[in-house]
Structure 1
Amino acid sequence: MTVETAPSARAARTRRRAGRAGLTTLAVLASAISVFPVLWMVTSAFKTRDTVTDGRLIPSEVTFDNFVYVFTDVPFARYLWNSLLVSTVVTVVALLFHSMAAYALARLRFPGREAIFLSIFATLLVTAPVVLIPLFLVVRELGLLNSYAGLIIPAIFNAFGIFLLRQFYVGLPREVEEAAIIDGCSHWRVYWNVVLPLSRPILAALAVFFFLANWNSFVWPLVATSDQDLTVVQLGIASFETQYGANWNYILAAATVAALPMLALFFTFQRQIVESIKTSGLK
């Protein structure tokens, strides 16, 4: 019987190896396709524009003048500061409020808890363009246009963060919290001293998501601000494009500067992102 089953076992191992080889090849191709635009952006950021002189095409040359122009002739450092300020404040405040709301929805018992959670979750089905005009009208009535508050406050609430944190808290063992309550801790102290320290991986992942989303925000800053001093980095990059053409060498140089911090942030916290996805599924 062993002799008869040996060929089938070898065939099964061969099929598994072939399957793994196919998946590896597919992963390498997908990675190459994903990385190629980034490499093209970085290499093109160090090149001049192709010019035509006396009917002759003068090819591009390697230069650092594109980056010099971005930081000297344009207040790009101010744009970076605005995006950094808005993204940092939104991330910190959103994590605090979202974690408190998620803990209440996961652990506290009160009438209408499930209905509130379903209502918050249902807002994920509403796309941003649908609420853009009503949001603009509300912000205008509150007098928050052309201000940091107008950029920050509307971006704080995010149903995805509450949902992800709530699912994470549902999976936490209750024994630790119950022991703290028996020792005399209130719900606030349990949340602050027990739950938050256990939430560091999921909070780190959400911090990356929130920071990236606000760093790359374009539509709402375009609608809510017209002051040059409040221009964020994505609007600053778009300012290099004119009605009749685009200075792609400057655009790519500015995009490279704006992308490098985000790439570093993602690679630093990629393990937390993967862990948060694995541990916060539907319960």
Structure 2
Amino acid sequence: MDRISRGLKRMTMYLILIAGAVLFIFPFYWMVLASIKTPEEVFDLSLIPSKVTWDSYVYMFDRIPVWGSLLNSFIFAGGVTLITLIFTSMAGYALARLEFRGRDVLFSVILLTMMIPFQLLMIPLYIIVVKLGWMNTYAGLVLPVSVNALGIFIFRQFFRTVPQELIDAARIDGAGELKILFRIMLPLSKPACVTVAIFTFMGPWNDLLWPLLVTRDQEMMPLAQAATLFGLEGQGGQWGSIMAVTTILAVPVVVLYLFFQRYFIESVSSTGMKG
């Protein structure tokens, strides 16, 4: 009876997980499906299209400079991610391994900034960008939204798991703090780097509000902004094309997670439990 009971519990758990996976995946499946359906079938709930057509993608490429906007998205998201990895790792190392007065208070203040919505910082950041003459530039797009408290928290928690003896040995050998960070700590912190990179990359990649504020020329627009304007400028009836550009926008993030999910899960499990 115990074996049967355990089998039923396991089967129930698997059924619940499968149902959750289906509920999560179905909107993405419908999005891809709608992009290859005919306009008459876009809103049908059929799981298999009666006819596969690429007209929506052709229409989208005719109306949107997809490749240029995609490049802008990679520069925007990639630039923010790179700067965030460098500076949050430095801050996380200092908060985890360096002794100085007010360290814990500073860490608490950094965590408190996570509760401040971006909308409250938007106007001051916009004024700074205008004063510096960074409108319609990559600097204005990338620098004001680089570095975040979540990255500092993840690196700080992960660095606390590294044995202190390893750091002491490097200091005895004459290594400075930056050398210890970039030569020892970061190579050991691949899971933390991947987690920070994924979380950071997703933000600017899907961001619409900040690019709308600081970019005016179509040549500077990331793909999310170009896709939104495509839907608002009289093209709203082309729902298949909107689903097509949304599919292209979703693919890089999905691929990024699929390639690095092992490091992501490892980092979440290791950084979430250490105080």
Same fold flag (TM > 0.5)? yes
Query: In terms of mean alpha carbon deviation, does 26-35 or 73-82 score higher?
Result: 73-82
Structure 2 residue 139 is matched with structure 1 residue 149? yes
**Would the aligned equivalents of 2:80 and 2:147 in 1 still touch at CA under 8 Å?**
no
- Greater Rg by CA: 1
Which residue does the alignment assign to 1:55? none
Does the CA-based 8 Å contact 2:72-2:222 persist in structure 1? yes
Answering whether residue 67 of structure 2 is matched by residue 77 of structure 1, we say yes
**Aligned partners of 2:212 and 2:73: how far apart in 1?**
13
Q: Offset at 1:60? A: 8.1
How many residue pairs get aligned? The number is 266
Counterpart code for 1:31: A
Cα distance in structure 2, aligned partners of 1:23 and 1:140:
55
Q: Which one is further off, 139-148 or 108-117? A: 139-148
Asked whether the equivalents of residues 240 and 246 of structure 1 are also in contact (C-alpha less than 8 Å), the reply is no
Query: Could you report, residue by residue, the CA deviation over 1:209-241 in whole angstroms, capped at 9, with x for unpaired residues?
Result: 211221111111112211111111111111222
Matches within 5 A, 1:83-232: 83-232=73-222
Q: Secondary structure at the match of 1:145?
A: coil
- What is the identity, as a one-letter code, of the residue corresponding to 2:77? S
Aligned equivalents of 1:232, 1:40: Cα separation in 2: 24
Aligned residue type for 1:250: S
Contact (CA 8 Å) 1:240, 1:250: kept in 2 or not?
no
* 1:233 matched to 2:210: no
Q: Distance in 2 between matches of 1:183 and 1:219?
A: 49
Partner of 2:20: 30
SS at match of 2:134: coil
Q: Unpaired segments of 5 or more residues in structure 1? A: 1-9, 52-58
User: What percentage of residue pairs aligned between the two structures are identical?
Assistant: 37
Q: CA deviation at 1:137?
A: 2.0
- Deviation, structure 1 residue 61: 4.6
Deviations 1:152-190 (CA, angstroms, capped at 9, x unpaired):
001212000001100111111111111111112122221
1:279 aligns to 2:251 (yes or no)? no
Match of 1:255 in 2: 246
Contact 1:49 1:60 (8 Å CA) reproduced: no
TM-score normalised over the length of structure 2:
0.91
Query: Aligned AA for 2:202?
Result: L
2:37 alignment partner in structure 1:
47
SS at match of 2:199: helix
Alpha-carbon distance in 2 for matches of 1:44, 1:200: 37
CA distance in 2, matches of 1:235, 1:275: 33
Give, in whole Å, the separation in 2 of the partners of 1:243 and 1:85. 25
The partner residue of 1:266 within 244, 257, 269 is 257
2:34–2:243 CA contact under 8 A, matched in 1 = yes
Aligned with 1:144: secondary structure?
coil
Amino acid at match of 2:255: A
Question: How far off is 1:37 after superposition?
Answer: 0.9
| Partners of 2:83 and 2:147 within 8 A in 1 | no
Structure 2 unmatched ranges of 5 or more: 42-48
Decide which moves more: 95-104 or 85-94: 85-94
RMSD: 1.8
Contact persistence 1:49–1:249 (CA under 8 A): yes
The runs of 4+ residues in structure 1 deviating greater than 4 Å are: none
With the length of structure 1 as denominator, give the TM-score of the two structures.
Answer: 0.88
Q: Is the 8 A contact 1:240 1:247 kept in 2?
A: no
Kindly provide the amino acid, as one letter, of the partner of residue 213 in structure 1. G
Deviates more, 1:200-209 or 1:32-41: 200-209
